[in-house]
Amino acid sequence: MQAHFNPVSIWMRGLLEEEYGVPTRSLKIRTNAREQVPGWEPPTWMNIQQLPKGQRVDVPLARGKINAVMLPEIAPHLVFNTPGVRRLWPNFREVEKDYYTRTGIFPIRNVIVVKH
C-alpha cells in the first residue's frame, strides 16, 4: 500500500513519543483517506490502514472502536455531541505555551515541504 502521509500527523506521533512516552510502534493508525505527502512510504512496522470508503474516524470513535483521533482542526460535533469524547488536553493552550517555553518550537498545525 502506498500511503500519502500528513506531516502534522507525523509530527504528532513524534511528539507523543518524545513528550509523553507513547511508543510510535504501539499505535494502530486508521485514516479517513490517503494522506498528503506523495511518494512517502510508511515503515513496514507501522500499523496503518485506511478506513473503508465513506467511513470516517468519528464513527468508530463514537462506538469506542478507536481510542483517539488526531485532527488538524477541532471537530466540535465530536467533542460536544459524542458521550465519552473529549479533548486529551482540555487546557491545550497552556500545554502549547509550556512546550514553546521549554523548546522554543511553536506547535505546528500545517507544514509546507519544498523539494528542490
For 7-60, write each residue's pLDDT tens digit.
667 778 888 899 999 998 898 887 776 656 667 777 788 888 888 888 877 778
Alpha-carbon gap, residue 50 to 34, rounded angstroms: 7
Residue ranges per structural domain of the chain: 7-103
Q: What is the pLDDT of residues 54-88, one digit of tens each?
A: 887 777 888 888 888 776 666 666 666 777 788 88
Residue 5 pLDDT exceeds 60 = no
pLDDT given for residue 102 in this prediction: 94
Query: Predicted confidence band at 103 (pLDDT cuts at 50, 70, 90)?
Result: very high
Per-residue model confidence (pLDDT) at position 56: 76
Residue 70 corresponds to which cell in the numbers above?
A: 488526531
| Alpha carbon distance 67, 88 (integer Å) | 11
